[in-house]
Amino acid sequence: MRFILILLSLLAVAVEPRAQQSKGTPTYYASFRSYASGGRELPFWFRSNQNGTLPAANNFTQLLQTGFYRNLAAETSTTWDYFMGAELVAGYAGKPYFQPNQYWLGGRYRWLVVKAGAMADPLRYGGLSSTNGNLDASGNSRPVPDISLSSNGYVPFPYFGSPVSWKAHYSEGVLWDNGYLQKARLHHKNLYFKVDLPTEWSIAAGIEHYVFWGGVSPSDGKVSVRWGEYLYFVSGIRLGSGSKGGAGVNLPENHLGIYSMEICKRWQGNHVAFYWNHPFENRAGLELANAADGLFGIHLKRNEDFPYLSEVVYEWMNTFGQGYDSATGSAQDYFNDQTYRSGFTHFAQMMGSPLFVPKLNADGGAAGFPNNRIRMHHLGLKGSLLTNLEWKLMITFSNNQGSFDAAFPATVGQFSFLSELNYQLPRLPLQVSAAVAGDSGKLNEDRAGVFLGIRWEPRQDADRWRGNWIIRKRR
């Protein structure tokens, strides 16, 4: 399995394909949203997967977002192209706050793309997935500023022809938040292969690898990392050496990642995708000792003959196993680490699935995940009631067991829902939205809330709004 990560380090030079406009023209937008809750906090599906625009502890938020973006043109006949964008957020949640949430600049030369800045991933599966189809990258937190190399989507192998292609990603970022280790680095890479089969079937499989390294410790000062150590980190050679737990070796890095697979079928304007994520944080996870853990999903998109119900997503997630070894009492302890005690967070918000909620310190910083053994059922539905009126429904139920180090006395159930309407004015570039959401269970307080919003985007060919108000990208 280490060979896979070493190969990934050498070949990874691409990123998920970015949204593409027909002519690469700039798009400007502005939105205003108002949230209110009857509880101490906003309901789960109001504050989750919002790219870190909403603070964690509040029950009444006013939010203004404005920005622009220019994506790569859909046509790839030109030798080079460029893309850029920015998004500013101003809000009030008990006190005013302001943040430059996204900012990036990049260019493409043939199939190679380079980018610098903080840029959100494109929405997948109609915006109905609980974690955007990726356990480690949901769009729940503020995007991490990084420098990356990328290709413009899947690249055909020259000797196999278009049915066999690959894509990959290699980036280095910095976490500019108030985590336990200041200015920690985040390395990320992936490598995917895809085979297009007859009768419109396709199979894609790959691996994602994240590494926390470096930073400044409040007790030990700067975490020293030599060049040779960095090569060990990104290659994954030390992934099985016990950077946490098990052997008790406290190394200056933290590894985690997923195996990922997707099987797609298209026919007569319809689309169905089966997808699977398997998490790993050490050698046992790489070798599938925790084989029952992961995210399993199906996405169905119907053609325009069925507008009332156009898209369906069902997901089941299980992280109860974690490769627990009864002989040693050790487990992978997903998203937690002895050195990087804030866990897999950025600005105190989970970077992966929002079902994993970090504990917050008195100063608002994250202190890891007390509940990372979760079983979840999630259903997302979308359709149209009228020509310009869309509806969306998301329902999530989970059983929660705490962690192996601090298990709950009994399994705790939790239910959350979101019901939303979006109306596009026929003669104006405005969309009006309204939603209700709520939570019920013993993990969080029982609460319900409402949301009202309006979005302005003057381009006539702009993507219609399809869920969270972040930068929209075609896929």
Q: Is the model's pLDDT at 6 over the cut of 50?
A: no
Instruction: Provide the pLDDT for residue 235.
Output: 83
Q: What share of the chain is helix, strand, coil (3-state, %, to 5)?
A: 5, 50, 45
For the ranges 116-130, 212-226, 456-470, which has the lowest average pLDDT? 456-470
Bridge partners (DSSP) of residue 190 are: 169, 208
In this predicted structure, the answer to whether residue 169 has a pLDDT above a threshold of 60 is: yes
pLDDT at 304 over 90: no
Q: Is the dihedral of CA 137, 138, 144, 149 positive or negative?
A: positive
Contact at 8 Å (CB) between 379 and 406?
A: no
393 burial class (0-12, 13-18, 19+ CB within 10 angstroms)?
Answer: middle
At 104-125, the pLDDT tens digits run 999 999 999 999 999 999 999 9
Q: How far apart are CA 296 and CA 375, in angstroms?
A: 11
Between β-strands 80-92 and 96-109, what pairing exists: parallel, antiparallel or unpaired? Answer: antiparallel
CB distance 190 to 4 below 8 Å:
no
Model confidence, pTM: 0.88
Helix, strand or coil, per DSSP, at residue 156: strand
Tokens of 109: 């030369």
11 pLDDT higher than 70: no
**β strands within 127-233, DSSP E:** 146-151, 155-157, 161-174, 185-197, 201-213, 216-217, 221-222
- Of 15-19, 71-75, 379-383, 471-475, give the range with the top mean pLDDT: 379-383
- Identity at 220, one-letter amino acid code: D
How high is the pLDDT of residue 8? 43
Q: Is 349 exposed, middle or buried (0-12, 13-18, 19+ CB in 10 A)?
A: buried
pLDDT of residue 239: 60
pLDDT mean over 324-341 = 84
H/E stretch holding 35 reads strand 27-37
pLDDT of residue 328: 73
Amino acid letter for position 260: S
pLDDT of residue 459: 60
Q: Largest alpha-carbon pair distance within the chain?
A: 68
Question: CATH number of the domain at 2-456, out of 2.40.160.130, 2.20.25.240, 3.10.450.750, 1.10.620.20?
Answer: 2.40.160.130
At residue 180 the predicted structure's pLDDT band, cuts being 50, 70 and 90, is confident
Residue 158 neighbours by CB under 8 Å, 6+ apart: none
The whole-number pLDDT of residue 12 equals 37
pLDDT for 161: 66
pLDDT of residue 462: 42
For residue 10, pLDDT over 60 is answered with no
pLDDT tens digits, 187-209? 999 999 999 998 899 999 999 99
* pLDDT attached to residue 240: 52
Q: Which has the closest alpha carbon to 33: 91, 95, 83? A: 91
Q: Is a pLDDT exceeding 80 seen at residue 467?
A: no
2-11 vs 227-235: helix axis angle to the nearest 10? 110
Amino acid (1-letter code) at residue 459: R
Report the C-alpha gap between 453 and 209 in whole angstroms: 37
First to last CA, the chain: 31
Amino acid 77: pLDDT: 75
Q: How far apart are CA 374 and CA 370, in angstroms?
A: 11
The C-alpha atoms of residue 459 and residue 402 are separated, in whole angstroms, by 47
Indicate if the pLDDT at residue 419 is higher than 60.
Answer: yes
List the chain domain ranges.
2-456
Distances in Å between the Cα of 330 and the Cα atoms of 242, 322, 346 are 11, 9, 26
Average pLDDT over residues 328-345: 88
pLDDT band at 250 (very low <50, low <70, confident <90, very high): very low
Confidence of residue 280 (pLDDT cuts 50, 70, 90): very high
Across 398-407, average pLDDT: 94
Which of 38-56 are b and which e, b meaning 16 or more Cβ less than 10 Å from the residue's Cβ?
Answer: eeebbbbbbbbbbbbbbbb
Per-residue pLDDT, averaged over 224-252, amounts to 61
Give the rounded distance of the alpha carbon of 216 from its chain centre.
Answer: 26
What residues contact 327, with CB distance under 8 A and at least 6 apart?
Answer: none
Question: How do strand 20-21 and strand 72-73 relate by DSSP bridges?
Answer: parallel
- Averaged pLDDT, 248-256: 66
Q: Which residue has the tokens 């070796």?
A: 249
The reported pLDDT for the residue numbered 57 is 82
Lowest mean pLDDT, pick from 210-224, 311-325, 329-343 = 210-224
Cβ neighbors of 307 (< 8 A, separation 6 or more) are 383, 384
Examine the pLDDT at 383 and tell me if it is beyond 80.
yes
pLDDT at 248: 36
